[in-house]
Amino acid sequence: MRIIRRLLPILFVSISIFVSAAYTSGQNRGVLGEILHRMDEHNKALQSLKADVRREIVNAQLGETDVSTGRTSYVPGSAKSSMRIRIDWVTPREEHLAITGDTYDMYIPKSKARYVGSVKSVKSGSKVPASALAFMSMSRKQLTDNYLVDFVREETVAGSKTWHLVLTPRAKADYKIADLWVDANGMPIQAKITRLNDDSTTILLTNLQKNVTINKADFKLQVPSGITITKG
């Protein structure tokens, strides 16, 4: 379990941060309304996603930064099926993560380790980026019900013009703030979770391929037989 806490962030986020207009100026309220509208429409239209993914985990106490890169696939949930996410980390080490609904399955070939558990039990500083990825699938109502949001400014992220939002959880959480960068289409392309101790996890999505065919079998990890499963 300690290994999971250390190794496992935010996807689902992939894939998940947004808002109370009452705390902004009149101009910002208008901008926020437009951002949330675009996010809601984009969320409704998104049927699947493939992208390159970059994760940066910062340990503020030790002054250390851990950066990983790889590929991700995402299919939102529906009335008939659960949300599914897969991340295949390539550098600096091979790791494979699959999330279906509330369950995650992670396999690390080098250490021949496999971890299976509930996303709800994962801390935001782990390498299962549940908190960060969760914002990808949130509706406007879920965002406004769960967060106080402030529009900061327009910023360029990975060559794309974005709106930078800051979200503060309304309820008690294991992180104090979340930052979200939303592109002109309403797609959250970067999310950052800052924990109570100032550690942070940032997830960046690039080279987006939307509404492409993704099979359910793609979300099942291929793990050699004989690998011991550790419950998370």
Task: Give mean pLDDT, residues 38-42.
Answer: 89
Residue for token pair 């790889």: 70
Are 105 and 221 in contact, with CB atoms under 8 Å apart? Answer: yes
Report residue 2's pLDDT band, with 50, 70 and 90 as the boundaries.
very low
Instruction: Give the range among 13-22, 38-47, 149-158, 194-203 with minimum mean pLDDT.
Output: 13-22
CA distance 4 to 14: 19
Q: The whole model's pTM is what?
A: 0.82
pLDDT at 4: 44
Q: Report the candidate in 71, 90, 86 with the shortest Cα–Cα distance to residue 13.
A: 86
Q: What value, to the nearest 5°, has the Cα angle with vertex 229 and ends 115 and 110?
A: 65
**What would the two tokens of residue 230 be?**
């550790």
pLDDT of residue 188 exceeding 70: yes
pLDDT of residue 82 exceeding 70: yes
pLDDT of residue 59 exceeding 90: yes
Report residue 211's pLDDT band, with 50, 70 and 90 as the boundaries.
very high
Report residue 93's pLDDT band, with 50, 70 and 90 as the boundaries.
very high
DSSP annotation of 211 reads: S
Report residue 30's pLDDT band, with 50, 70 and 90 as the boundaries.
confident
Task: Give mean pLDDT, residues 129-146.
Answer: 70
Instruction: Give the range among 26-30, 70-74, 86-90 with minimum mean pLDDT.
Output: 26-30
**What would the two tokens of residue 226 be?**
């004989």
Instruction: Give the range among 107-111, 131-135, 209-213 with minimum mean pLDDT.
Output: 131-135
Task: Give mean pLDDT, residues 138-146.
Answer: 80
CA distance 148 to 140: 12
Are 124 and 193 in contact, with CB atoms under 8 Å apart? Answer: yes
CA distance 182 to 185: 8
What pairing do the DSSP bridges indicate for beta strands 229-231 and 113-118? parallel
Beta bridge partners of 97: 87, 106
Number of Cβ within 10 Å of residue 148's Cβ equals 15
What CATH homologous superfamily does 2-231 map to? Lipoprotein localisation LolA/LolB/LppX (2.50.20.10)
Listed by start position, the domains of the chain span 2-231
Q: Report the candidate in 63, 107, 140, 122 with the shortest Cα–Cα distance to residue 220.
A: 107
What pairing do the DSSP bridges indicate for beta strands 160-169 and 229-231? unpaired
pLDDT of residue 109 exceeding 90: yes
- DSSP of 84-145: EEEEEEEESS-EEEEEETTEEEEEETTTTEEEEEEGGG--TTSSS-HHHHGGGG--HHHHHH
